[in-house]
Amino acid sequence: MANLQELLKAKSETILEHWFDLIIATYPAESVQYFKRTKDAFQNPVGHTIHREMKAVFDELLTGLDRERVSPFVDRIVRIRAVQDYAPSQAVGFVLGLKQVVRKALAKELEAAAGARGLLDQLTDFESRVDELALIAFDIYMACRQKIYEIQAQEVKSMYYNVLRRADILCPIPEQEEPDMPPEK
Amino acid sequence: MATQTPKPQEIAKGLSHQPPSENWMDTKPEFRSGMYCHPVKVASLEGMGGAFAREWNPTEADWKLPADWKGIVKDGLKDRLRRFRSFQVFMDICVRCGACADKCHFFIGTGDPKNMPVLRAELIRSIYRGEFRTAGKILGKLAGGRKLTEEVIKEWFYYFFQCTECRRCSVFCPYGIDTAEITIIAREILNLLGLQIDWIGTPVNACYHVGNHLGLKPHTFKENIEYLLGDIEENVGITIEPSFNRKGAEILFVTPSGDVFADPGIFTCMSYLILFEYLGLDYTWSTYASEGGNFGFFTSNETMKRLNYKMYAESKRLGVKWILGGECGHMWRVVHQYMDTMNGPADHLEVPRSPITGTVFENAKSTKMVHVTEFTADLIKNGKLNLDKSRNDHYTVTWHDSCNTSRGFGFLEEPRYVLRNVVNNFYEMPDQTIREQTFCCGSGSGLNAGENLEQRFRGGLPRANAVQFVHEKHGVNMLANICAIDRAALKPLMDYWVPAVNVCGLSELVANALVIPGEKAARSTNLRGEEINDLREEAGLEPIEWPEEDEEGGEAGEEGEE
Ligand code: SF4
Ligand code: SF4
């Protein structure tokens, strides 16, 4: 029986390339070549980070999906996209795109296996992991947006804090319970 | 933020955010929350005698431009082409080689082609060709020219207030074209139509009428510093009584007002106070020239001159010999590049000579202004400071070259010299991100407003990325710099990208390392009120043995106890 993990491993280079192309294509056409070709990690932090972390995420998906382990990789990609003027769906949508990329890369094998449940079942499993990954990405996206608002509030506070303190019009705020938040990672 | 939701097949094709494939000249910017700065308040613009003060909103179609806006822009452009030779040359000589294209932090962080310096300049160059050059007038787009429309003005507002005038692009241009100067002119022209942002316009007005960007009146300014003196007494255990507006002092000290009241700038300010007290310097603060920064620089040539003038005026009124300046970025670009020709020669002042070391600052012969970092470097070189750099051992520091001090002022070695003398753990970021090639904080040139935070985070991404690298590689936990805007802007930038890294001014590290004669128990806390030994413990270091409590029965010891 064909083993999906082996197949994905064998084709990982093509899959990653197409997955990367897919996310990079969400940037303006004139900039795509720059994001793809500029190899220097410091001259091209966006392209470089996305490339590096996508590979790490993919490797993780091959063997399972450990939320804690995969989160830092997804975080580095989503953190960038969360400030790049994308709608939430656009910021995290690249995760779901992996399903089509994989199906395309395995088109021949899937056709050959048509009828035999083995490979398809494995693919279904893999795709549910991708769905779960999308949810993780969305949690991270929300945490990033939340962070932006917190920082915004903090910036205003630190600007006026000393003026208020000097005017002696601050009163200590009693300890409050943390509001319910979605888990950060 | 964009609102349209992509369809699944679009996600697969990855086309949802693809810009229209039309020629770049035909695409329009969208003004979305988080990506632009708010327009200037009417009162602020009027306060400076600015033209066409009005309520308007960038997200609305009608910007209420004056009736003859086209004529105003054309005349404004013509006038500047005549007055500024560099501008004329920059309009003509770009060969569009693309060497600058991917060097701008805003391009790197956004991928928006109009953030490529070459295209940013082309936004105005195309009008220059289309309206002033025969070929462009006749051939239009074929000759790279286009006509002036309201859309062009909106595009200018969007992209010229998304350039921090950092000059990184100019380092890579084989012709030395400085897109920052093109932005400066473009903003001047926008100003002619009353198009200014509030984060620049309001501080400028406050500075002109009150003396500093924050509009702190003289007594408030003084009280703010006195408050910091209270903190110093509590946390360091020394009592300082600086003077204000004192005639006959040897030196006038001027620093950006952000140092006087905003975190973490106040720690830098406390450090100046401690250093000057340690030296017994004969200096005074001015509550009128209470701003070293100059947002006029981001407005127009004339406004910059008006705001800058007060430093010389105050030095004359107080009869000081020379001026010492605090840690700031654009303040020093203005002093270094323009002050002398704008408001000099300062014949009422003497060539600065350090009263402690006797060093004559030949480099400041003309402006008569010395940077606190070179002043400090000279003190260290002459062995005038008793420094124990192990007191900063819980910090692993990297150095951010501010655009203005590095590319605008050539200040590369002095801060590093000081840094190496006050910390043991110092690691540089990669070569292509420091010194002349340093990456901007993303918030310079008056763009450090609150409302455009996302834009700032995108622009600051390349800087943060390099900090993250040294954080992961060397455990860097402190980003030091000598710029008030950096101190304010890098903190939130780090909170978002590399939260484990804190931000400080160089002088703060100097004050930490300074061994003060007769130190008391209070010295066991740093300027931020943190227990130094707690920080050391966290870093796995041995505690420092601080002096015993209240040795001489001084009050400071008691206060330090709490
Ligand atoms: S001056 Fe700086 S911000 Fe402006 S275009 Fe050049 S690199 Fe970009
Ligand atoms: S590097 Fe200079 S000549 Fe080349 S495109 Fe940029 S501005 Fe033009």
pLDDT tens sequence across A165-182? 666 655 655 555 555 555
From B36, B492, B1, B32, select the one nearest A81 (Cα to Cα). Answer: B1
Ligand 2 touching residue B177 (CB < 6 A): yes
Distance CA(B378)–CA(B418), nearest Å, equals 9
In the block, tokens 């227990």 appear at B531
Measured from the Cβ of residue A147, the count of other Cβ atoms closer than 10 Å reads 18
Considering the domain boundaries, does residue A185 fall inside one? no
Considering the domain boundaries, does residue A45 fall inside one? yes
Asked if residues B366 and B345 have their Cβ atoms less than 8 Å apart, the reply is yes
Domain B202-381 in CATH 1.20.1050: yes
Considering the domain boundaries, does residue A154 fall inside one? no
- Residue A144: closest CA among chain B residues belongs to which residue? B496
Asked if residues B100 and B167 have their Cβ atoms less than 8 Å apart, the reply is no
Distance CA(B408)–CA(B352), nearest Å, equals 21
Asked if residues A8 and A15 have their Cβ atoms less than 8 Å apart, the reply is yes
Q: What is the ipTM of this complex?
A: 0.89
Residue numbers of the domain that contains A116:
4-149
Opening angle at CA A92, ends B440 and B499, nearest 5:
40
Put simply, whether the predicted model's pTM sits higher than 0.90 gets the answer yes
Task: Please report the pLDDT score of residue B139 as a whole number.
Answer: 74
Distance CA(A101)–CA(B241), nearest Å, equals 70
Considering the domain boundaries, does residue A82 fall inside one? yes
The second-level CATH assignment, the architecture, of B389-513 is: 3-Layer(aba) Sandwich (3.40)
Considering the domain boundaries, does residue A168 fall inside one? no
Considering the domain boundaries, does residue A161 fall inside one? no
Residues A105-128 pLDDT 10s? 999 988 887 766 788 899 999 999
Residue ranges of domains in chain B: 26-195, 202-381, 389-513
Distance CA(B326)–CA(B333), nearest Å, equals 13
The sheet with strand B478-481 has its strands ordered as: B397-399, B478-481, B502-505
Distance CA(B189)–CA(B80), nearest Å, equals 9
Q: Per-10-residue mean pLDDT for chain B, 562 residues long?
A: 46 36 72 91 95 95 96 96 95 92 96 94 92 78 84 96 97 96 97 96 95 91 94 92 98 94 91 97 96 94 94 97 96 94 95 98 96 98 97 98 94 97 98 97 94 95 98 98 95 97 98 91 91 95 84 44 35
Residues 6+ apart with CB under 8 A from B40: B50, B53, B194, B196, B197, B198, B200, B201, B202
Q: From the CA of A114, how many Å to the nearest CA of chain B?
A: 23
Considering the domain boundaries, does residue A73 fall inside one? yes
Q: Which helix (H) or strand (E) holds B153?
A: helix B150-160
Considering the domain boundaries, does residue A104 fall inside one? yes
**Which of B27, B465, B469, B485 best tests the A interface by mutation, with the highest count of A CBs <10 A?**
B465
The tally of domains found in chain A comes to 1
Q: Peptide bond preceding B345: is omega within 30 degrees of 0, i.e. cis?
A: yes
Return residues 93-132 of A near B (CB < 8 Å).
93-94, 96-97, 100-101
Asked if residues B148 and B73 have their Cβ atoms less than 8 Å apart, the reply is yes
For a ligand 1 pocket test, name from B100, B120, B168, B456 the mutation site with the most ligand atoms within 8 angstroms of its C-beta. Answer: B168
Asked if residues B156 and B123 have their Cβ atoms less than 8 Å apart, the reply is yes
